[in-house]
Amino acid sequence: MRVALASILALAVVACGAPQAAQTTLPVPTPSPVEAPADTAVVVPAPIALECAGAFAQGGVIVCRTEAGAAVRVDDVDRGRADASGWFVAGFDRDAPAAAKIEVRGTNAARERSFAIAPRQFSIQRIDGLPPETVTPTDPAVLARIARETEIKNRARESRAVLQGYNDAFLWPVGGRMSGAWGNQRVLNGEPRTPHYGIDIAAPTGTPIRAPAAGVIALAEKDLHFEGGLIMLDHGQGLITYYLHMSRLDVAQGETVAQGQSLGAVGRSGRTTGPHLCWRMRWRDRNLDPSLAIHGLAVARAHFGAGASVDPGAAPAGFVQWTQAAE
């Protein structure tokens, strides 16, 4: 019994003391060193320059300066580019809202600014006794003529002269007497019509008309149905002044004229009741008040130091310069 127990204990000792099978251990991979990212400076471009001056009112015109060749948007509409010196011009229609947004985008930066636009009050002008056919033409031949002439004028409105006549500051094109204000609602023979987008200056037939600023003649027509003798003068970037009812034209389409140069003479051609100059102005598709340009462009010229002050000449008798305080 003792022999058997000793044998069992011996076996147990042998079993406990027997070596265990070796375990296979996979090497733990050493992580590759991760380089910390280099510090990257975030470059925030400085805002592009945008400075404007002029008449910030319904019918007004302004001059702005920014980066040369910058793309220009006015009230969310693309309006071309600033010229090689950074100049561009803009205007506000008769019914412009209370604020205008101007955006410019240059090579590496952009800028947006909002400008308050002063409202104006316009009266109603009634003109009676006009021949019915001049108010509402019905003759097919006349209607066809009007359509042809409209196409001619529309092509001229696309003029974009590469010059800076708007920096000249405007002169009054003719002396005389104010006979019609800009922006008034017209009622012809009792029928409401579109607003009058011109300044009427009554003067004798043959009175010389001078260019208010340098420009290129976009159109020169002697006998249009409505306007009679008409000149359209582009002062740069589509800022175009119009001269209606002329009796004589001294310039031709495509000609470059200097400030103060004779354009022709006052007359009573086209649809009119007497000799006068109807002076109009447009910037692209917007109708502007040329009388506001007299003051507004002078303000811009002084603000930017574009040149010495310019004497615009005597205003027509009865003219009252619009100011926001006056309303």
- The rounded percent of the chain whose pLDDT value lies above 70 is 85
Predicted confidence at residue 34, as pLDDT, reads 45
Predicted confidence at residue 175, as pLDDT, reads 95
Predicted confidence at residue 21, as pLDDT, reads 39
Predicted confidence at residue 136, as pLDDT, reads 79
Identity of residue 45: P
**pLDDT tens-digit series, residues 201-222:** 999 999 999 999 999 999 999 9
CA triple 119-175-94, angle to 5 deg:
20
**pLDDT tens-digit series, residues 139-190:** 999 999 999 999 999 999 999 999 999 999 999 999 999 999 999 988 888 8
Predicted confidence at residue 26, as pLDDT, reads 41
Identity of residue 325: A
Q: Where are the domains of the chain?
A: 124-286
**Domain 124-286 falls under CATH 2.70.70.10:** yes
Predicted confidence at residue 157, as pLDDT, reads 96
More confident residue, 16 or 93: 93
- The predicted model gives 247-258 an average pLDDT of 98
Instruction: Report pTM.
Output: 0.83
**Per-residue pLDDT for 19 more than 60?**
no
The confidence band for 251, taking pLDDT boundaries of 50, 70 and 90, is very high
**pLDDT tens-digit series, residues 282-312:** 999 999 999 999 999 999 999 999 888 899 9
- The predicted model gives 211-236 an average pLDDT of 97
**Per-residue pLDDT for 30 more than 60?**
no
Identity of residue 130: L
Average pLDDT value over all residues in the chain: 87
**pLDDT tens-digit series, residues 55-70:** 999 999 999 999 999 9
Residue 190 CA to residue 177 CA, distance in Å, equals 25
**Per-residue pLDDT for 194 more than 90?**
no
CB atoms within 10 A of CB 51: 13
Lowest mean pLDDT among 43-47, 107-111, 133-137, 247-251: 43-47
Predicted confidence at residue 166, as pLDDT, reads 96
**Per-residue pLDDT for 313 more than 80?**
yes
Largest CA distance in the chain: 157
Predicted confidence at residue 154, as pLDDT, reads 97
Which H, E and C letters describe the chain, residue by residue? Answer: CHHHHHHHHHHHHHHHHCCCCCCCCCCCCCCCCCCCCCCCCCCCCCCCCEEEEECCECCCEEEEEECCCCEEEECCEEEEECCCCCEEEEECCCCCCCEEEEEEECCCCEEEEEEECECCCCCEEEECCCCHHHHCCCCHHHHHHHHHHHHHHHHHHCCCCCCCHHHCCCCCCCCCEEEECCCCEEEECCEEEEECCEEEEECCCCCEEECCCCEEEEEEEEEECCCEEEEEEECCCCEEEEEEEECEECCCCCCEECCCCEEEECECCCCCCCCEEEEEEEECCEEECHHHHHHHHHHHHHHHCCCCCCCCCCCCECCCCCCHHHC
Predicted confidence at residue 222, as pLDDT, reads 97
**Per-residue pLDDT for 224 more than 50?**
yes
